[in-house]
Amino acid sequence: MPKCTLCLINEADKTGSHVVPHFLMKTIDNADHVKGRDKELGFKITEDFVTPYFGRDVSTNKLDEVFGELTEEDITASRSDIIADYIYCTSCEKKFSSLESAYAPTLNIDGSEVYQSTKSSLTAFLFWTSIVWRLSAYGKLGFKLAQNEENRLRVTLDKLLIAEVIDERDTATKAMFEDIRYVILRAPGYADKNETATYYHSKHRFPYCLLLGEYALFYYMKSSHVKSPQQSFFGLEKLLNRAPLNSIRNAEKIYPVTDEQMKSTWDSFVDFVNATRIKSLFRTLDELHIKLGGNGKHMHPKDKYDILNEIMAEGKDLGRTFTFEDIKQSTFKVLNKNHGITSKQ
């Protein structure tokens, strides 16, 4: 059995671990707006690829609606990505769950102005830090810290997370977190009424950007990164200069965003998902073009758009990854029509 990824000492004997705490997942889209475990719907977007992932209890009908027809393999592969087996030991899993229990009551606190979520700066800080570290150490959801940053967070979390009580007095270890800043934006109650998703930006580092249902987390590994040029994150980045910066020292303050702002974020996110999918399709078409012995490295844009329209005309949902078979059929139909090219098969 592998070693626990947090303590690196005990055997990782826990199964069914949620990498993102399930109480937070309750705020994350569960498609049918039913709160509960295993209802999450997320997107892993890396380079030109979009991979959806979803919990065990998301209804198959809803998945069909969002992603088109999914195969059993798609579903099994995705579900195995969000529920992790053998990454933590029982003792570390307990530390995470007591941290979650300590932070969970903040879900019920909100405000229309900037509000304080908890008096315990350490609990809030460790909670968000543990999410960042867990996603990175797990590595299967398209989010990765720089390796030295991941190591640093592991060492400090391992020292500061104590199952029964989080020791506010451990100043030496706290000092290791001194330079980290983070911002929390939240549209309180938004996830009760609307679709949301989880998405962890695979490239942004200054800060790291995570969308978690009705929350957005911006995590700065160094306070100097606050001055870095703005990175786009579905419009939410524009609020960063107004939102309070949190650290291990201050009682956490959350910047509330309106439902309209969150809706516009979701719309931008859906556009981004679709644009990424089209980019991925066009890259596949360029590869096909080369294999078919076409001139140059790229298929003619008109052919690409004709093929895209052909795929869409088949009634496929743009929200899902096109299967190779879909692409092949539509491609040959269009190439035959436009250029008289026929499939050898």
Residues that bind Zn ion (CB under 5 A): 4, 6-7, 10, 89, 92
- Rounded Cα gap, residues 89 and 6, in angstroms: 8
Q: What angle do CA 116, 120, 122 make, to 5 degrees?
A: 120
Q: Name the residue nearer to Zn ion (CB basis): 92 or 288.
A: 92
In the complex, minimum distance from the CB of residue 160 to Zn ion, in angstroms, rounded to a whole number: 14
Do 338 and 310 touch, CB atoms closer than 8 A? Answer: no
Q: Name the residue nearer to Zn ion (CB basis): 2 or 340.
A: 2
In the complex, minimum distance from the CB of residue 93 to Zn ion, in angstroms, rounded to a whole number: 8
Q: Name the residue nearer to Zn ion (CB basis): 94 or 204.
A: 94
* SS3 of residue 45 by DSSP: strand
In the complex, minimum distance from the CB of residue 97 to Zn ion, in angstroms, rounded to a whole number: 13
In the complex, minimum distance from the CB of residue 131 to Zn ion, in angstroms, rounded to a whole number: 17
- 86 sits in the region (left: phi over 0; alpha: psi -120 to 50; else beta) called left
Q: Name the residue nearer to Zn ion (CB basis): 2 or 293.
A: 2
Do 103 and 127 touch, CB atoms closer than 8 A? Answer: yes
- Rounded Cα gap, residues 60 and 50, in angstroms: 19
In the complex, minimum distance from the CB of residue 165 to Zn ion, in angstroms, rounded to a whole number: 18
Q: Name the residue nearer to Zn ion (CB basis): 100 or 286.
A: 100
Single-letter amino acid, residue 85: D
Q: Name the residue nearer to Zn ion (CB basis): 7 or 278.
A: 7
Residue with the closest Cβ to Zn ion? 4
Compute how many other C-beta atoms are within 10 angstroms of the C-beta atom of residue 44.
20
Tell me the torsion sign for CA atoms 230, 271, 68, 23. positive
- Rounded Cα gap, residues 211 and 196, in angstroms: 9
In the complex, minimum distance from the CB of residue 92 to Zn ion, in angstroms, rounded to a whole number: 3
